[in-house]
Structure 1
Amino acid sequence: MMNSDSRTKSRILIADDHPMFLAGIRMLLTSAADIEIVGEANTGSRALRLISETRPDIAVLDISMPEMHGIAVTKRLMAEAVSTHVVLLSAHDDPTYVRQALGAGARGYVLKNSAGDNLIQAIRAVSSSGLYLDPAIAERCLPASDLAGSRMNGTGERGALPLTDRERDVIRLIALGFTNKEVAAKLGVTTKSVETYKTRASEKLDLRSRSKIVQYAILQGWYHNAL
């Protein structure tokens, strides 16, 4: 009979082109009883192939890898509606990189210099349908001039038609990295309904791209509330 530990383990793929760093991540994650490493890669393209083969719960990807960087891999996974969630490892503490990562669909962003302290916490947060931003950069991720003129009313939409509760639920879950199919399952509606709510919300707020949805979510504090 399968024991309870094996049922609750998060299946993780790790990818980094630096062998010593990859070995360190392996050692760190192996020490956690609720984590199982199911694959390793040293390039983005190999990570993508292994994700397709092993279907891990979470892929921990270096943001800068040969052949295909971590954000590009994340975009591909989102485009193909793969259920694997992504936590990106990065040496960059510039909020621009964080917004690009979240805009691509990543559910976590951890700085390499603090991975020893934060990576396991990030994996556990994402495994619980949450989102994780490295504490060292979370407070600096509010957009500056590009959001300074965002329309806001009592619900955060000045000068725009207010969102319905359902439209807000849909746009929030999409911003948090859930696919249309996952949003539909969470809300008990059809995928087509999710697409309709998303379109209406995007038109009301002039959110013409995923990156704009992410920027709006940051302004609303949705990511901070998910930490």
Structure 2
Amino acid sequence: MIRVLLADDEGMIRAGVAAILGTDEGIEVVAEASDGAEAVALARAHRPDVALLDIRMPRLDGLAAAAEIRRAVPGTAVSMLTTFDEDEYVMRALAEGASGFLLKAADPRELILGVRAVAEGAAYLSPRIAHRVIAKMGAAGLTRRTPGLERVAVLTPREREVLGLLGEGLSNSDIAVRLFLTEGTVKGHVSAILTRLGLQNRVQAAILAYEAGLVARP
């Protein structure tokens, strides 16, 4: 069972998202928060698998809450809820360890898919915002010092292959099946990739995979 903490300052949004997630028998919303500070407290208390956070909330916004949750409860994956006019906030959230970005107006199936992917350790960017995020990161983020191709040149051929699949949003188990490897071996490759490239999380790795041309742009 995937245990989810849901935080949004709008009660109608919380109710709608909780109802959607409730249609999946493998997902349970264990706590709901109306602001970032409450979300952090509930994350400490419930230690959910996934914290689904609105970016704009009172007292403590989603970005600050994400950073605090990742520090206090490292076993909890964080995914942000966003809208099209919040691209800058989405990119800033990368530095706070967010693993996913979901649109409030997305298809319900995408919301469930995104929560499941993040819970399984994969990065998930809503297809409708992936291109915009990647384009902006390419201009001002991860690749500002060195072109993507030069950065990934330090990786082995197998690591570059794994990085490309990270860019597709695959989980460790999915990558293992695709490459006929054990999940433990994939986990080792992912750890090595993050360390050698100086990346903080799988979302950063996925974006760099796009920038290096290892994945077709959306």
| TM-score (normalizing by structure 1) | 0.68
Q: Give the whole-Å Cα distance in 2 for the aligned partners of 1:139 and 1:162.
A: 23
Matched to 1:186, the amino acid is K
Q: Which residue of 2 aligns with 1:45?
A: 37
Q: Work out which of the residue numbers 32, 57, 74 in structure 2 matches 1:65.
A: 57
Equivalent of 1:163, from 127, 137, 154?
154
Letter in 2 for 1:116: P
Aligned length: 196
Structure 2 regions of 5+ residues with no counterpart?
A: 170-183
CA deviation profile, 1:74-114 (whole Å, cap 9, x unmatched) = 11223335210011111244543332222321111111121
Query: Is 1:16–2:8 an aligned residue pair?
Result: yes
Q: 2:128 aligns with which of 136, 141, 146?
A: 136
Tell me, in whole angstroms, the C-alpha distance in 1 between the residues paired with 2:216 and 2:4.
24
1:27 is the counterpart of 2:23: no
Contact 1:11 1:56 in 2 (8 A): yes
Specify which of 132, 139, 142 is matched with residue 145 of structure 1: 139
> Which residue of the partner structure matches residue 127 of structure 1?
119
Cα separation, partners in 2 of 1:222 and 1:78, compared to 1, 3 Å: farther
Greater C-alpha Rg: 1
Change (3 A) 1:222 1:74: farther
Query: What fraction of aligned residue pairs are identical, expressed as a percent?
Result: 31
Distance in structure 1 (CA, Å) of the matches to 2:76 and 2:214: 21
Q: CA deviation at 1:117?
A: 4.2
TM-score scaled by structure 2? 0.70
What do residues 105-142 of structure 1 show as CA deviations (whole Å, max 9, x unaligned)? Answer: 11111111216342111011112221111111112222
Q: Is the 8 A contact 1:58 1:87 kept in 2?
A: yes
Q: Distance in 1 between matches of 2:215 and 2:62?
A: 20
Letter in 2 for 1:111: L
Unaligned runs of 5+ in 1: 1-8, 177-182
Mapped contact 1:12–1:59 kept (Cα < 8 A): yes
Secondary structure at the counterpart of residue 136 of structure 1? helix
2:105 equivalent in structure 1: 113
* CA deviations over 1:156-187 (Å, ceiling 9, x no partner): 11xx7942449x68xx6xx99xxxxxx9x932
Please report the RMSD computed on the Cα atoms of aligned residues, expressed in angstroms.
4.0
Distance verdict in 2 for CA 1:106–1:161, change over 3 Å: closer
- Does 2:178 correspond to 1:187? no
Quote the Cα distance in structure 1 between the aligned partners of 2:29 and 2:187. Answer: 28
